[in-house]
Amino acid sequence: MKTLKTKHYLVAFTLGLTLASCSKDEAVTTDPASDNLNETTVLSRGALPEAVEGNLIWEIPGVKAHDFSFNYNKLVEPSECGTTPFSAVTSYYNNALINGFISSWDGNPDAIGVILEDYFAINQIAALIGKNADTFGANGEYTHYVENRVRSLEKFWDMPDLISVRGQHTYTLEDLSFIRFIYENYSNATPEQVDYLVGIANHFNTTSDQIPENPFFASDGFASSTGVIVIGDGIVSMLAETDLDPKVVWSGILAHEWGHQIQFQNFGNWDYPVPAFSNTPESTRMTELEADFLTGYYLTHKRGGTYNWKRVEDVLLSFFNIGDCGFTSSGHHGTPLQRLEAARQGYLYAANQQKKGQISDPQAVHDAFISALPGIVGEAL
Ligand SMILES: [Zn+2]
């Protein structure tokens, strides 16, 4: 039955849930009439057990630049979100998801593994094996836009047919036969255990309006060195809820992930002050800032995204203020100000180049970034 060739590895799920430190069973104080996203608090977090493992044996293949991802530890911890518009949105959906889970939960710890662990892996696998991955937006409403943007990026960076951009949708998780297929191919579950796990999925899907509808279930945003970019509907819709144009959000995330693909293509050839993709905070910050520089360059270039800087700045500022609400910590990606400055330097470089009608090749843009890097991280100050 192992017909899938996607490389996967045994992952040690070390969740280390810290729920016990939050043992008060708070009452539900959700006020459905409230427009204030911060006023939804979480029901009975302390009732959730401390450590539950998922059932899937899976890791994204290749070198990864993972910009957005669900983080169970951060999701279930009481969050201190709310300092930025985007963190208020993620905090709202975070709490809605936990409340939705608890409302349908009978106390069975296995359900945590299925709904709050496996569902996220299932949707990653879906994107990478091409399940519902060729449409963008919950109703496919951004499919043409993304396809056009991909063609623009291919032309601008002279990278035809090299990168596969994949969508990710919450509705994929409504398909119990697909969930069954994943358990049969990506876990060690026996047929009886698969029936049991799918039964849990069915229960939550039919009794909770958050499962799997919550945007966190489709919130991946990453680039893999296997030539794949995954962008979930959820990350775009949550960013767009901060009063941003969803099309510019799609473009911003896509241009950033494309920047990582350019880095992967040139891995080993490009010189950096510290080794690229070496899994240190300095390395991650450097490659992220370069992806931001490439983003600012492409999005504002008159032969690229053609956006004016102000529109780009608004989107990137939200994008950079990801905070700690269920997403990869922004700390290693550079501070929001460093990231915005990297993108601004890319914009200034584009403004200078396009006067001459030029598009620089990736090597020249990389060299420009390396020259600007000390100023971006403040070492020149
Ligand atoms: Zn990135």
Is 79 a residue whose pLDDT tops 90?
no
Q: Does residue 366 carry a pLDDT above 90? A: yes
Measured in Å, residue 288 CA sits from the centre of ligand 1 at 5
Least confident of 108-112, 204-208, 322-326, 334-338: 322-326
**The pLDDT of residue 224:** 96
Cα-to-centroid distance, 204 and ligand 1 (Å): 33
What span, in angstroms and rounded, lies between the C-alpha atoms of 43 and 52?
Answer: 19
Q: What is the pLDDT of residue 82?
A: 52
User: What's residue 254's pLDDT?
Assistant: 97
Give the pLDDT score at 91. 81
Question: Edge to edge, what strands does the sheet with 228-232 contain?
Answer: 64-68, 221-224, 228-232, 164-168
Confidence band for 373, pLDDT divided at 50, 70 and 90: very high
360 CA to middle of ligand 1, Å?
21
CA 1 to chain CA centroid, nearest Å: 30
Average pLDDT, integer, range 161-174: 98
- Compute, in angstroms, the gap from residue 327 CA to the centroid of ligand 1: 12
Ligand 1: distance of its center to the CA of 186 in Å?
27
Asked whether the predicted pLDDT for residue 176 surpasses 60, the reply is yes
Q: How confident is the model at residue 71 (pLDDT cuts 50, 70, 90)?
A: low
Cα of 180 from ligand 1 centre, angstroms: 32
- Mean pLDDT confidence for 126-146: 97
Please give the share of the chain, as a percent, with pLDDT higher than 90: 62
Please report the pLDDT score of residue 38 as a whole number: 46
Region 351-360 average pLDDT: 84
The CA 76 to ligand 1 mean position distance, Å, reads 24
Q: Which of 108, 95, 80 is nearest to 45 (CA)?
A: 95
pLDDT at residue 324 greater than cutoff 50 = no
Lowest mean pLDDT among 44-48, 60-64, 163-167, 317-321: 44-48
Ligand 1 centroid–CA 60 distance in Å is 15
β-strands 164-168, 228-232 pairing: parallel
Q: Which residues contact 42 (CB under 8 A, 6 or more apart)?
A: 26, 78, 95, 98, 99
Categorize the per-residue pLDDT at 13 as very low, low, confident or very high, splitting at 50, 70 and 90: very low
User: What values do phi and psi take at 67, rounded to 5?
Assistant: -90, -40
Q: Mutual orientation of helices 246-265 and 233-240 as an angle, nearest 10°?
A: 130
Distance between Cα 257 and ligand 1 center (Å): 6
What is the Å distance from ligand 1's center to 256 Cα?
Answer: 6
* pLDDT tens sequence across 256-273: 999 999 999 999 999 999
Distance 68 CA to ligand 1 centre (A): 8
In the reported structure, the alpha carbon of residue 362 is separated from the centroid of ligand 1 by a whole-number distance in angstroms of 17
Q: Which residue has the tokens 């229960």?
A: 203
Given a cut of 90, is residue 1 above it in pLDDT?
no
Q: Are strands 228-232 and 221-224 parallel, antiparallel or unpaired?
A: antiparallel
> Structural domain boundaries of the chain?
19-377
Neighbours of ion ligand 1 (CB under 5 A): 65, 67, 288, 291
Residues 194-218, mean pLDDT to the nearest whole number: 97
Q: What is the mean pLDDT of residues 233-261?
A: 95
To which residue do tokens 């490389």 refer? 7
Please tell me the predicted confidence (pLDDT) of residue 160. Answer: 96
Q: What is the pLDDT of residues 21-61, one digit of tens each?
A: 223 333 333 333 344 444 455 666 666 665 678 999 998 88
Yes or no: say if 34 and 90 are a contact pair by the CB < 8 Å rule: no
Cα Rg of the chain (Å, integer): 21
Give the mean pLDDT of the chain.
Answer: 83
**Predicted pLDDT at 222:** 93
